[in-house]
Structure 1
Amino acid sequence: MKAAQITGFGQPTTLRINDVDRPAPGAGEVLISVEASSVNGLDTIVRAGGLRVVTGCRFPIGVGLDFAGVVAATGADVPRYQVGDRVWGTVHPLKRHGVAGAAEYVVVPAKRIGPAPADLSPVESASLVVAGTTALIALRDTLHLTGGERLLVRGAAGGVGTAAVQLAHAMGAHVTALCRDRHAGALRELGADEVFDYGSTTPDRIGPFDVILDTVGSELNSYRRRLTREGRMATIALSASSMAAIAASSVHGARRIRMLSANPDTALLRDLSDHVASGGLRPVIDSVYPLADIASAHQAFERGGVVGKQVVAVSTDA
């Protein structure tokens, strides 16, 4: 089978499509025939060597955090799934993988997948797995967003941002999106009540907010000052500056900045599917690339400036 793998830390050019042995599921595991995967920030961090403490320096390293596809085989003690079931899920974000989601087949524990939304294509499903679960964890579980609260989403045009705007709108929040000016119309269609151009809007010109979800990682302390007395803030951006801001904010009680990342299980994926089924969440896709051109998908992700996700179609039928 074919799998996208990192052959050395660095630029997207280190990605290769290699011929590898098809894995077999063990007890409690499932073999997925992958139809689509997407590009996430963690994928590019791993490729650049930012998590070499976790991945080690033995190459090749599998790439692709998420996937949508079909159950191809099951190991022992997997009663919930049958061959042919359409599913979506992730590999573990903090383990080394020789083969990951951007491959024709991948083996994962059964607890890391869930039934894919019936009305979405594999490409559409793959675009929502990590982005959607990250936004849901952030708003519901970390920040405890409630109806009527004022929310700011920084980096609102990205994968997590577009999912967060939709979910927050469905939760009844007043949503302010910070993004490029040319994306304002798209964000309003997704449910944003107000949209500001991040290039010309300083933190002191907007707010106050009850909740801030940051996907950017810069100026965190400046935005934290825009919180109400009992305001909450979280970031998904992993950087030296964001870690410093989180540490500095730890003395401010409820106004401290929280760090979060997605590590979804079956229950969370089912919750996300419910939001899709209810109409509260839909895919937002910028572009789709074949597996052979995954390097271009990584390049597009790192350039930014688009609305939604870069998706990798592993199967021609996706």
Structure 2
Amino acid sequence: MKAAQITSFGTPDVLRVTETERPTPGAGEVLVAVEASSVNGHDTIVRAGGLKMVSGRAFPIGVGLDFAGTVVTTGAGVEGYRAGDRVWGMVHPRQRHVTAAAAEYVVVPADRIGLAPAGVSSVEAASLVVAGSTALIALRDSVRLGDGERVLVRGAAGGVGTAAVQLAHAMGGHVTALARDRHAAALRELGADEVLDYGTTTSAELGPFDVIVDTVGSELHCYRGRLAKGGRMVTVGLSAPALAAIAASAIHGSRRIRTFSANPGSAVLDGLAGFVTSGALRPTVHSVYPLTDIAAAHQAFEQGGVMGKHMLAVSR
């Protein structure tokens, strides 16, 4: 099978699509024929060598977290899935993979997939796995958004941001999106009540907000200061300065900066599918690359400035 792999740590040109052996599912696992995957920040950090404690230093290293496709076969003990089922899911981000989701086939534990929502293509479904589950966990589980609360989504045009805008709206929040001005109309269509240009709006001009969802990971202490009494802030944009800000914020109790590692299982994916099926969550795809052009997809991701996800389409 064809699989994208990291051949050394570095820029996108270290990525190669090579022929390798198709994996075989063990007990409790499912073999999926991948039809689409996406580019996520985790992928680019691993490729650049920023997560060596997870990826290790032995090459090649598989790349790609999320996928949508069709079940080929199941291992012993798997119930609820059969060959031909359309599924979506995610490989474990904290485990080393020689081949991962950016490949023609992937093996994952059955509790890391769910039935893909009807009415969306595989590319569209794959675009929502990491982004949508991250936004859902942030809003529902981390900050527990309540009906009528004021929400700021920082970095609202990215994959997680567009999902957070839609989910916050669906949960009854009054949503302010902070993004490039050229994305304002599209973000309003997704459910934002207000859109502010991040290039001209300073943190001092904002707030107060009951909830802040940050996808950027910088100036966190400034944005935390825009919380109302009892407000909650969560960030998914992790970096060394962000981790320092998170640690320092612990003295603020409930108004500390929260974070988490999105690692969705079947229950989260099934909940996410409900939002898709109801029409409350729509995919936002910026571009689609063939798997063989994964280096170009990574390069485009790192250039930023777009709305939605960069996707990989897998053909055989």
- TM-score under structure 1 length normalisation: 0.98
Instruction: Tell me the residue number matched to 1:43.
Output: 43
- 2:251 aligned counterpart, secondary structure: coil
- 1:211-222 equivalences under 5 Å are 211-222=211-222
Instruction: Tell me the residue number matched to 2:181.
Output: 181
Instruction: Tell me the residue number matched to 2:148.
Output: 148
Instruction: Tell me the residue number matched to 1:240.
Output: 240
Matched, 1:230 2:226: no
Instruction: Tell me the residue number matched to 1:91.
Output: 91
Instruction: Tell me the residue number matched to 2:285.
Output: 285
Instruction: Tell me the residue number matched to 1:7.
Output: 7
Superposed CA deviations along residues 97-129 of structure 1, whole A, max 9, x for unmatched, are 001000000100000000001111100000000
- 2:69 aligned counterpart, secondary structure: strand
- 1:229 aligned counterpart, secondary structure: strand
Give 1:34 shift. 0.3
Matched, 1:195 2:202: no
- 1:66-215 equivalences under 5 Å are 66-215=66-215
Superposed CA deviations along residues 103-160 of structure 1, whole A, max 9, x for unmatched, are 0001000000000011111000000000000000000000100110000000000000
Q: Following the alignment from structure 1 to structure 2, what is the Cα–Cα distance between the partners of residues 254 and 79? A: 41
Give 1:237 shift. 1.0
Give 1:238 shift. 1.4
Give 1:240 shift. 0.8
- 2:108 aligned counterpart, secondary structure: strand
Instruction: Tell me the residue number matched to 1:63.
Output: 63
Instruction: Tell me the residue number matched to 1:263.
Output: 263
Superposed CA deviations along residues 185-224 of structure 1, whole A, max 9, x for unmatched, are 1111111011111111101111110000000011100000
- 1:289 aligned counterpart, secondary structure: strand
Amino acid corresponding to residue 123 of structure 2 in structure 1: V
Superposed CA deviations along residues 241-300 of structure 1, whole A, max 9, x for unmatched, are 100110110010010001122101011100000000111101000000000001111111
Q: Which runs of 5+ in 2 are unaligned?
A: none
Q: Following the alignment from structure 1 to structure 2, what is the Cα–Cα distance between the partners of residues 172 and 106? A: 37
Q: Following the alignment from structure 1 to structure 2, what is the Cα–Cα distance between the partners of residues 217 and 129? A: 21
Q: Following the alignment from structure 1 to structure 2, what is the Cα–Cα distance between the partners of residues 315 and 238? A: 33
Q: Following the alignment from structure 1 to structure 2, what is the Cα–Cα distance between the partners of residues 135 and 17? A: 30
Number of matched pairs:
316
Q: Following the alignment from structure 2 to structure 1, what is the Cα–Cα distance between the partners of residues 173 and 205? A: 20
Give 1:80 shift. 1.1
- 2:16 aligned counterpart, secondary structure: strand
Instruction: Say what the alpha-carbon RMSD is for the aligned residues.
Output: 0.7
Q: Following the alignment from structure 1 to structure 2, what is the Cα–Cα distance between the partners of residues 43 and 238? A: 14
Structure 1 stretches of 4+ moved >6 Å: none
Superposed CA deviations along residues 56-108 of structure 1, whole A, max 9, x for unmatched, are 11000000000000001111001211000000000001000001000000100
Q: Following the alignment from structure 2 to structure 1, what is the Cα–Cα distance between the partners of residues 208 and 66? A: 35
Amino acid corresponding to residue 248 of structure 2 in structure 1: A
- 1:4 aligned counterpart, secondary structure: strand
Q: Following the alignment from structure 1 to structure 2, what is the Cα–Cα distance between the partners of residues 65 and 276? A: 20
Amino acid corresponding to residue 31 of structure 2 in structure 1: L
Amino acid corresponding to residue 34 of structure 2 in structure 1: V
Q: Following the alignment from structure 1 to structure 2, what is the Cα–Cα distance between the partners of residues 60 and 201? A: 44
Q: Which runs of 5+ in 1 are unaligned?
A: none
- 1:251 aligned counterpart, secondary structure: helix
Q: Following the alignment from structure 1 to structure 2, what is the Cα–Cα distance between the partners of residues 315 and 227? A: 47
Give 1:315 shift. 2.2
Q: Following the alignment from structure 2 to structure 1, what is the Cα–Cα distance between the partners of residues 48 and 19? A: 22
Give 1:31 shift. 0.4
